[in-house]
Amino acid sequence: MKTFVTPIVAFLANLAMLSSMSAANPSTESLTVGGGCFWCTEAVFEQTPGVKAVVSGYEGGAIPNPTYEQVCTGRTGHAEVIRIDFDPTQTSADKLLDLFFLAHDPTTLNRQGADEGTQYRSVIFYSSEAQKTAALAAKERSQKELSKPIVTEIAPSTTFYPAEDYHQDYFKNNPNAGYCTFVIRPKIEKLEKQGKIEKSK
């Protein structure tokens, strides 16, 4: 007997199939943090399991579409940040935030090493109440391991502005540059030895 499939039945079948595919491939989540120079934080999270992409940029200030030169003055209100796009089935905001607090010094106000200014402040920009809760919990966990108070700012996200192209994948593209050799590489090697990030290939 020939089976007759009505258009509505076919539509519902296709809808169910799409829903199943969506459940098997959940959408990417994003987290935005700043921990000093974005070259450093970008390099760390690009070697983190579950992370799909890392984009360096600026956030937190009042000037739209800021340039690197403007942000470097420390007068724009923007911080150097990275947007981390990750697969929630492979990692979580909790794990990424724990690594964030480990990968920089969250106890120094507007400073990371020799980099000084509000643009280098430690900050987490949350985009949901769940991220805010995760950020506060990660801060509390990290504080137990530190003798000095954490000064990391936890604030609602505003507008993320991607940095200029030459800032993207900076460590990958400039592994022998002075800053990469003396600042980024030791940080990467330390985290690799601790098993916090994947070893670079």
Per-residue pLDDT reduced to its tens digit, 62-121: 999 999 999 999 999 999 999 999 999 999 999 999 999 999 999 999 999 999 999 999
Handedness of CA 140, 142, 145, 149 (dihedral sign): negative
Q: What percent of the chain has pLDDT over 70?
A: 87
Would you please indicate which residues are annotated as catalytic (active-site) residues? 37
Q: What is the pTM of this model?
A: 0.86
Measured in whole angstroms, the distance separating CA 111 from the mean position of its chain's CA atoms is: 18
Q: What is the 3-state secondary structure (H, E, C) of 106-166?
A: CCCCCEECCEECHHHCEEEEECCHHHHHHHHHHHHHHHCCCCCCCCCEEEECCCCEECCHH
Report domain extents, the chain: 26-193
CATH number of 26-193: 3.30.1060.10
Average pLDDT over residues 190-200: 90
pLDDT digits (tens, 9 = 90+) for 43-66: 999 999 999 999 999 999 999 999
